[in-house]
Chains A and B, each alone.
Chain A
Amino acid sequence: MPRTIPWWAGGILMSLLFFFTFSEWGAGRPIGASTGMAYLSEVLFGLDADSHEYTALIETSGAWEGVMLIGVFFGGLFMSLFVTKTFHISFIPTLWKARKNSSVPSRMVWSFIAGFLLVYGARLAGGCNAGHILSGGSQTAVSGLIFTVVALGTGMITGRFFYKRKGSCS
């Protein structure tokens, strides 16, 4: 088995999975991830639906995506152990080292902040890139198109300031 697939094969496989999920033969709903992330955090911190309005609001869709995310973890684990054989404990990505720094505490602090922003932002927007960009875009949803433009635009601007090339600034 090859250790990676090209972008077009990834796109074709992903859309086949989306067809299955979207149709009545699969789940009859589009794929999303961030509602599940919020749901899992409510389970973890014990924020039950009786006393928390938002937990009650995402009870059904959050549970569905929460279970899906458990599958996502094992799908990734299976591939990294048996197919790509890339499983190894690592702390800092290569590109981060090249563009930012080699400090483990720095990467961890920023990871925590970024993870917080990702999920908090996704909940505020009502979806993440799976729900808004991929599923939303495929359904020509206005919310998905607005999210795509604003999120990627902000990402590119942030990236420009956040990852200054070493030596290019004093």
Chain B
Amino acid sequence: MTEGIVHMFDVVAAQGHGSVWTVLFIGFCFGAIILYSRLDKFEKMAGFMIFEDTLAPRMAMMTVALSGVGFYALVQGGFAEYQVKPTLLGGLLVGAVLFGMGLVILGKCPSAFFVSVSEGRVDALVGVIGGMVGGAVFTLTFPWIKHLMGPDLGAIRLSDVLGGYELMIVLVLSLTLFVVALLIPTVDYHDPADENPKR
């Protein structure tokens, strides 16, 4: 296992997507923002889907609204390139269904559960272990299920489907998300454990 971890760092150092320290720094900030906004909490993520808390959708909409415009500007300025994931329709639909069920039951996503563990939540740790087994089972079953994941529609963006209008799409999507994020009322699930962490 130690070999595998050393190999992981070697691969990152060699691939030109930032140095190992840059990648660790990005992760550190990502985890810090998730914890500081309390997005790692079950009450925020599962609470959103049972309509008892609105932090997660508002924050996600704000992030995508700003990033949408920012990414467009970065790409236009030649400082970044779009890297769109392929639309493998079968895998995408079945995977999203399983993911949605897991998300509402565990109440965390595959980065927030690490943040939750760092806060001392044992149930999140069990979720991570479940995820580790899930990842391993996927790797082992991949040769059989890869045939069921298609059809592959390619790495397409909305502008490819609508035949252009890229700037317009980015602006409309960002503005819509921004306005909706502002209009959604604040519903904050009151967690007594936040006031008295010893409980």
Supply 20 further A-B pairs (C-beta < 8 A) apart from A9-B37, A124-B91, A133-B64: A41-B136, A47-B140, A52-B142, A68-B27, A68-B30, A75-B32, A76-B31, A76-B34, A89-B120, A91-B122, A96-B46, A115-B129, A123-B134, A124-B94, A125-B99, A126-B95, A139-B82, A140-B170, A141-B156, A154-B101
- The reply to whether the CB of B164 lies closer than 8 angstroms to some CB of chain A is no
| B142 lies within 8 A of A54 (CB) | yes
**Which of these, B20, B41, B109, B118, contacts A74 with CB under 8 Å?**
B118
Chain A residues near B113: list those with CB within 8 A. 115, 118
Interface of A is mostly: helix
Interface string of A77-89 (1 = CB under 8 A from B): 1111001111111
Residue in B closest to A154 when the chains form the complex, CB atoms = B100
Chain A residues near B191: list those with CB within 8 A. 94-95
| B114 lies within 8 A of A73 (CB) | yes
Shortest beta-carbon distance from A108 to chain B in Å? 5
- The reply to whether the CB of B147 lies closer than 8 angstroms to some CB of chain A is no
- The number of chain B residues touching the other chain, given as a range, is 35 or more
Known A-B contacts A76-B115, A114-B130; the reply to A140 vs B68 at CB < 8 A is yes
5 tightest A-B CB contacts, nearest first: A71-B27, A11-B62, A115-B130, A125-B95, A75-B31
The B-contacting residues of A in range 92-139, CB under 8 angstroms, are: 92-96, 99, 107-108, 110-139
Shortest beta-carbon distance from A159 to chain B in Å? 4
Residue in A closest to B53 when the chains form the complex, CB atoms = A95
Q: Which A residues contact B (CB, under 8 angstroms)?
A: 3-5, 7-15, 17-31, 33-34, 37-48, 52-55, 57, 59-60, 63-64, 66-80, 83-96, 99, 107-108, 110-147, 150-156, 158-160, 162-163
**Which of these, A66, A130, A143, contacts B109 with CB under 8 Å?**
A130
When chains A and B are docked, how far (Å) is the Cα of A86 from the Cα of B55?
18
